[in-house]
Chains A and B, each alone.
Chain A
Amino acid sequence: MGSESALFHLFGAIAIIASLLVIAQKNPIYSVLLLIASFGALSGLYVLLDAPFVAVIQIIVYAGAIMVLFLFVVMLLNAPHEDTEHDLEVHPLLRGGPLRAGALLAAALFVELTWALTKGGGESGGFPGAAVTSVAAIGRSLFTDYAFAFEVTSILILVAMVGAVVLARREPGTK
């Protein structure tokens, strides 16, 4: 249908423009907010791909939790920009030297990825077959086929929690 294609292009454009602005902003808070906008667009794309569960989980986990964490850290550190004198005159993305090579490498990566991913012949119209949209089916598969990975993930989150607390703790006696 035309409306699906129009929505795909709209969400895709928002995601790309927001991501470009994320890496172009000097102020880290604007970067975080633009990334949230990008996540919203990706969530719309997941809905178009008949994955409503993943779409909502994206908002809850990524946009609602991880980005809040980033925002807290940026605010608590009162995160400065890349504060060298050079940065104040020239925009971070426009500096010369080895950084231009980095941009070329990213462009080369894009070309390679596109070539590799589209070799599989996915131009045939639409998505064939039925989608698995029900949360019940995902849950069933998660707790039977992927049960081990699920349990290991819970240990991973525990380790990350303890690690974050320990790493960010002030040593007693210092400032």
Chain B
Amino acid sequence: MPVLNQYLILSAILFSIGTAGVFLRRNLITILLSIEIMLNAVNLTFVAFGRALGSADGQIIVFFVMTVAAAEAAVGLAIVIGLFRHRESLNPDSFTALKW
């Protein structure tokens, strides 16, 4: 029977993997994917705690987190498309100069 701590450790691992992805990868799309991994780890924490406390609040917050993640992914990808059109590159290091 998995205990609450095991779920929390699993979510901590996933969150750290997502953070490592944001730090280490130099590709805008992979960075956005790592952000999604982090959001999912947070979702897992919410559902685990909601189950432990016996309330539906965990699942409801997850509902909102998913909605916000969808909106953020849409706008983020639109920005990536705009940036790619300008510089033909998905490397964030190409966008360090502040002139357009």
- For window 9-32 of chain A, which residues contact chain B by CB distance below 8 Å? 12, 15-16, 19-20, 22-23, 25, 28, 31-32
Choose one: B29, B60, B79; the contact of A138 (CB below 8 Å): B60
* Nearest neighbor of A159 in chain B, beta-carbon distance: B71
Cβ contact within 8 Å between A164 and B23: no
Cβ contact within 8 Å between A117 and B12: yes
Cβ contact within 8 Å between A23 and B90: no
Check A129/B54 contact, CB under 8 A, given A141-B60, A156-B71: yes
Choose one: B26, B27, B32, B47; the contact of A46 (CB below 8 Å): B47
Cβ contact within 8 Å between A70 and B73: yes
* Nearest neighbor of B28 in chain A, beta-carbon distance: A79
Cβ contact within 8 Å between B25 and A157: no
List, in ascending order, chain A residues with CB within 8 A of B17's CB.
16, 19-20, 23, 106
A-B pairs under 8 A by CB, number: 248
* Nearest neighbor of B46 in chain A, beta-carbon distance: A54
Check A51/B5 contact, CB under 8 A, given A32-B33, A113-B12, A132-B56: no
B3 to chain A, nearest CB (A): 6
A163 to chain B, nearest CB (A): 5
> In terms of DSSP, what is the predominant structure of the interface of chain A?
helix
Tally chain A residues at the interface, Cβ within 8 Å: 90
B21 to chain A, nearest CB (A): 4
* Nearest neighbor of A126 in chain B, beta-carbon distance: B1
CA distance A167 to B72 in the complex (A): 13
**From B8, B26, B51, B73, residue with most partner A Cβ within 10 Å:** B51
Q: A172 on the interface (CB 8 Å rule)?
A: no
A-B contact pairs, 16 of them (CB 8 A): A1-B1, A22-B34, A23-B17, A23-B24, A38-B40, A73-B80, A79-B84, A82-B25, A82-B90, A92-B25, A107-B16, A127-B4, A146-B64, A159-B71, A160-B71, A167-B79
- Interface positions of B (Cβ within 8 A of A): 1-21, 23-27, 29-30, 32-34, 36-37, 40, 43-45, 47-48, 50-60, 62-64, 66-75, 77-82, 84-85, 89-91
- Interface positions of A (Cβ within 8 A of B): 1, 4-5, 8, 12, 15-16, 19-20, 22-23, 25, 28, 31-32, 35, 38-39, 42, 45-46, 48-51, 53-54, 57-58, 61-62, 65-66, 69-70, 73-74, 76-77, 79-84, 87, 92-93, 99, 102-103, 105-107, 109-110, 113-114, 117-118, 122-132, 137-138, 141-142, 146, 149, 153, 156-157, 159-161, 163-168, 170
